[in-house]
Structure 1
Amino acid sequence: MDLDLAQVRAFVTTADTRHFGHAAADLGLTQQALSKRIARLESLLGTRLLERGHGAVEPTPAGHRFLAAARRALAAADAAVSAVRDDAGPLRVDVWGHLYDPSRTLSEILDPPPDQPNHTEDLPAVELGRARDLPAVVAALLRGEIDAAFGRVHRTGLPREDELAHRIVRLEPVDALLGDRHPLSGAEQLRPADLRGSRLLFPAAAHRLDFLRHFAEDFGIEGRVEAVNLGAGHLLTELRDTPDTFTLFPADARLPDIPGVRSVPLIDPVPLYAWSLIWNPAAAHPRLRDLLQALAAKARTRRWLEYVPSRDWLPAEDADRARTPLTAEAAGDAARPAPIR
């Protein structure tokens, strides 16, 4: 059976937007032409793929089963066209989790300081963009709008894990941020257990911040305060003005100069924040492997992936992933496009 990729693209776009009008606009078609393409595909497959309701569209069970493979087929077709044209273009990489300054890690790869080894001689041009959060990244990867993304990957924000690949590329120690009026602000170092009598300040809704939730659960931090994410300056001001609160922040992240706030290293154990690269193997950019290998080389020289379970703490799912090291060889294998099944 030979599929018409124009019909497949019409179905995938409609399934993603859940709206005939929006899908037609995205594809530059009339709604009538879009409907005809999907109807012909359904006739060819012998089953209905979409349920049409009052303004809403939902994939049928057969449509859901067809959707993942259909995306991979489209990605493979797009990659084939790019290969013939030799026009893969720049590597499009989005970052998310902006409060914790994710772009500084990629900047060490793309624009390393003069005193550090340069592993980027063979990298293609990279276009950095900003994404709102992990679900937005997942959607953009599946639509082919970006080639990769960098930030914190966690299961609750990754509903389509079977279609995407990700590797931890940096494990960053985390400090406690305290206002000067906090009872522990004078300490040179703190253990996570020392913070049990304090309230953990979440810089956004707690359900969106899995790292802080896992930390609170594992170390018995019962008090919580949720704030609105208005940037690092606002967060530090909240800490300064609320003496019994603390929050966690990656140790190397750049912080605004707000008087009255201290950063205190955590030990016994040292919490580690896992940064990952995520991509769609079915549509891997031909130069993605070079970026992964540059990250692996930087991780080796900067010791970014050191994790000692007796000394360090990671959420359980991160600890599982940290056991698969990102080596240059593994990076090359990981970035190979997945076969179409």
Structure 2
Amino acid sequence: MHPGPDLDLARVRAFAVTAELLHFGRAAEVLGITQQALSKRIARLEGELGAVLFDRGASAVSLTAAGEALTGPAARLLTAAGEFVAAARDTETRPLRLDVWGHLYAPMRTVAHVVDALPGVAVEPGSGRDLPGVADALLRGDTDLGFGRVHPIPGRRFAGLAHRLARLEPVDVLLAVGHPLAAADVLRPGDLADGVMWCPASLERLDFLRKFADRFGIARTEAGANLGLAHSIEHVRDHPDCFTLLPADVPLPDVPGVRAVPLAGPTPLYAWSLLWREADPHPQLGDVLAAFAEHGARRRWLEYDPDRDWLPDIEALDGVG
């Protein structure tokens, strides 16, 4: 045994979360403590290490060179601590908590395919608001696994979390039967450039739709409240100049007067991913990840051809080639 410093892991975790968010207020919220308590933990850690870790400007927080150097070791230390605790804790009987987001596109239908084939694993499904919300819940330990669309967010690095691509789903365009393009058997994304894209929230909050509009020249968009899938479909039905996009396998409610048309040349793909906390994982997390991988391979969920398909953020996704 080698003697070493007695580091307080709560202070290390405070540093790691603050280094990720570069915002003391948001970091305190994620950790479930006051901003004053967070500042004290950081200050005491800096005192123990003899190094300043953050530059605290009037309008922004940034890492010092010492802080940058410690981000990797801090993540590894917290992961090791989680493994240490998991080795001594009997959590086999606790259900694995799995939160989904992107509810308009029915993420639970994909999760159900896998969970139904895992009779030996107790999974407790739940709902998160969005990617940042589920990421924060994972870091707090409030959930064990997330499922939804993982994409880059400016200023957010998701330190301490890992993700894996689970499914690539072709996207259809939904049109009113009175739309000039509704009779087509298949459409190119560029054919939609003169239409109005209906968005169930402001476009700034809808990463996939925003990138689709930028890539294929959709200049006109219309945003409204996300009141559920039926409401979005009814809006498209009642506004024949509008269209919206949906993953191809989303079960549509019975709303007459609309038609889903496949897109090709290229085919847009909606990426569903798994997201989990690297430190202190649930003991059956590996079984669930393996089941998603096996199910995805059998159902050919991860097929991608760059000459045929369009996938935003391809460089940020794992397991695609």
Which TM-score applies when normalising by structure 1? 0.77
**Does 2:43 match 1:47?**
no
What SS does the corresponding residue of 1:155 show, helix, strand or coil?
A: coil
Query: Which of residues 190, 197, 201 in structure 1 aligns to 2:198?
Result: 201
- How far apart are the structure 2 equivalents of 1:75 and 1:213? 35
Among residues 315, 321, 337, which one is paired with 2:317 in the alignment? 321
- What is the CA deviation profile of residues 169-221 of structure 1, one whole-angstrom value per residue up to 9, with x for unaligned ones? 11111111111221112222222222122111121111122211222222222
Unpaired stretches in structure 2, ≥5 consecutive residues: none
Question: 2:103 is aligned with what amino acid?
Answer: H
Residue 240 of structure 1 deviates from its aligned partner by 1.4
Shift of 1:276: 0.7
* Alpha-carbon RMSD: 3.4
Contact 1:7 1:41 in 2 (8 A): no
In the other structure, the counterpart of 1:96 is 101
Residue 141 in 1 paired to residue 138 in 2? yes
Does residue 261 of structure 2 align to residue 264 of structure 1?
yes
Give 1:295-310 correspondences, 5 Å limit. 295-310=292-307
3-state secondary structure, aligned to 1:273: strand
- Aligned-partner SS, 2:88: helix
The aligned runs of 1:108-147 (5 Å cut-off) are: 108-111=113-116, 118=117, 120-122=118-120, 124-147=121-144
Q: Does 1:80 align with 2:76?
A: no
Task: Answer yes or no: is 1:176 the counterpart of 2:173.
Answer: yes
- Please name the residue that 2:11 is paired with: 8
Contact 2:188/2:266, CA 8 A, preserved across alignment: yes
For residue 237 of structure 1, give the secondary structure of its aligned residue in structure 2.
Answer: helix
Change over 3 Å in CA distance of 1:311–1:6 after alignment to 2: closer
What is the Cα deviation at residue 82 of structure 1? Answer: 2.5
| Alpha-carbon distance in 2 for matches of 1:157, 1:238 | 31
1:8–1:273 distance in 2 versus 1, CA, 3 Å? same
Matched with 2:288 is 291
- Distance of 2:193 and 2:314 partners within structure 1: 23
Distance 1:71 1:245, change over 3 A: same
Give the match's secondary structure for 1:182.
coil
Identical residues among aligned pairs (%): 48
Relative distance call for 1:324 and 1:158 in structure 2 (3 A) is farther
Matched, 1:242 2:246: no
CA distance in 2, matches of 1:262, 1:151: 26
| 1:101 to partner: Cα distance | 0.6
- 1:226-275 deviation digits (Å, cap 9, x = unpaired): 22212112211211121111011011112222222211122222221111
For the 8 Å contact 1:172–1:304, the answer to whether it is kept is yes
CA distance in 2, matches of 1:146, 1:260: 40
The question of 1:18 aligning with 2:24 is answered yes
Give yes or no for contact 1:174–1:266 (8 Å, CA) kept in 2: yes
- Distance, in Å, in 2 between the alignment partners of 1:76 and 1:298 is 30
Give per-residue Cα distances to partners, 1:133-187, cap 9 Å, x unaligned. 1111222222232222110111126821454321211111111111122111222
Is the 1:176–1:246 contact (alpha carbons within 8 Å) kept by the matching residues of 2?
yes
Displacement after TM superposition at 1:104 (Å): 0.8
- The separation in 2 between residues aligned to 1:320 and 1:44, in whole angstroms, is 36
Q: Report what 1:164 is aligned to.
A: 161
Aligned equivalents of 1:60 and 1:322: distance in 2? 28
Q: Provide the C-alpha distance between the structure 1 equivalents of 2:262 and 2:269, rounded to a whole number of angstroms.
A: 12
Displacement of 1:7 in angstroms is: 5.1
Determine helix, strand or coil for the equivalent of 2:291.
helix
